[in-house]
Each structure stands twice: as C-alpha cells, then as structure tokens.
Amino acid sequence: MKHWQTSLLVGAGLALLIALVWQTGIEQVAGALDDLGLVGLAWICVVQLAGTLLCAEALRRLTPGASFLAAAVSRLLRDGVSNIAGIVPGLGEVAGARVLTEHGTLA
C-alpha cells in the first residue's frame, strides 16, 4: 500500500472515530471509559488481540503458503470490514481473502 493510501485510511478512521464520539456525546464516552478504567480497557484490548491472533494462526495453518503476518492482517481487515459494513453479508470475508491473495496464497 502506498504511503498516501495509508494516510488516507488513517485519516478516514480518525474522522469516523470523531464522528461516532460526537454523535454519542463526549460526556457519555468519557463516563464509560471512566467506569471501565485503564486496567479494564487494557484487559479488553489484550483479550481481543489474543483472540484475533489465535484465529490468524488457525487461518495460517489452513491456508497453504500463508505467513502469520498475512493471516493476521487478513483477519484484522476481515473483522474490521465485517463490523463496519455488516449489512453486506460476506464482505469481510472477501476483503480478508483479497489480502491473502495479494500475499501470494490461495484464499
């Protein structure tokens, strides 16, 4: 991916984050984070990452020629697209398969 494309995607992600916080209300978001605490937030992130990496390892083992990095990126993108565009069934799987094929594996 080219540098400008990465910058564009990061900018779009930040804009989406700001829009979601704006729509929900900064007070409610801050209150939820305050109730959760930094330790609770850290544990949620660790557990989510562990589950994603475990799924990436399973995908790597089931996909001949796939590296762990390709499987992990594929899984992260698949989950992200499925969460954002959940109204279109299978779109996340297509995005994940695209990543694997870009890395020279058969999806």
User: What pLDDT, on a 0 to 100 scale, did the predictor assign at position 7?
Assistant: 83
User: What pLDDT, on a 0 to 100 scale, did the predictor assign at position 12?
Assistant: 84
How far from 105 is each of 4, 10, 37, 100, CA to CA, in Å? 26, 27, 41, 6
User: What pLDDT, on a 0 to 100 scale, did the predictor assign at position 84?
Assistant: 81
**Please, where are the H alpha helices in the chain?**
3-24, 26-62, 68-84, 91-102
User: What pLDDT, on a 0 to 100 scale, did the predictor assign at position 1?
Assistant: 61
Encode the chain (107 residues) as per-residue pLDDT tens digits: 677 777 887 888 889 889 988 998 989 988 988 998 989 999 999 999 999 999 999 999 998 888 999 999 999 989 888 888 878 888 888 888 888 888 877 75
Predicted structure pTM score = 0.68
